[in-house]
Every structure is written in C-alpha cells, then in structure tokens.
Amino acid sequence: MEDREPEVVFKKETVGKLLSLFFKDDKTKVSGDAVLLMAEMLKIFVQEAARRAAKQADTEDSGTVDIDHFEKILPQLLLDF
C-alpha cells in the first residue's frame, strides 16, 4: 500500500535535540557527522535490545516479548554499550 522505508532510523533533528538536551554546558555543540553517527549508534542499541529480548522470549517458548524478557537481558545490554 504505502512505500515503507527499508530501514528504521532516528531523525537527525531528534538526535541533535536529544544530545543538546542532556549536555550540561550550553556551549557544547555537535558536528553534523557526529549526530548522524549517534543516530546510527542508537539504532544499533534499539535493535540489539529488541533482538536479545526476542531471543529470551524464544528460550522461554513465549510468542510475545514481554517486559520480563527485556528485564532479563537488560544488565548485559547495558554492559555492552
């Protein structure tokens, strides 16, 4: 029906605003390439979280990925990033 984008990515604008929201110093700026690279990194983070949670659901023989599956993979996920 509609032309779906082949890949889900964070918008450059969103990532830029997110980063500047978290900076302690207002003077800190981000270069354009760095924003794009951060968008890529966040995408990897989300994909990794989703895939690990799906794998955990699979080992527990569950059709839906629930919050407790995600909770189980969360510590290792945070150690890897």
Partner 1 sequence: MGDEFSHSQRLKAAIHFTVARCCEEVGQDCEKNFSKLAIAAISETTFKQCDIFAKDLEAFARHAKRTTVTVEDVKLAARRSASLANYIVQKSEELTSNTKEQKERRKKLTGKRKSGDSLPAAAAEGDDSSMAGDQNALG
Q: Mask of contacts with partner 1, 47-66, x by CB under 8 A?
A: x-xxx-xxx-xx----xxxx
Interface positions, 15-44, toward partner 1 (CB under 8 A): 17-19, 21-25, 27-34, 36-38, 40-44
Q: Is 72 in the site for partner 1 (CB under 8 A)?
A: no
8 scored as a contact of partner 1 (CB under 8 A): yes
- CA gap 12, 39 in Å, rounded: 7
What's the CA gap between 52 and 58, in Å, rounded? Answer: 10
In whole angstroms, what separates CA 72 from the centre of its chain?
Answer: 17
Q: What residue has token string 């993979």?
A: 73
Burial-class residue 25 by CB neighbours within 10 Å (0-12, 13-18, 19+): exposed
Residues lying near partner 1 in the complex (CB under 8 A) = 8-11, 14, 17-19, 21-25, 27-34, 36-38, 40-47, 49-51, 53-55, 57-58, 63-67, 69-71, 74, 77-81
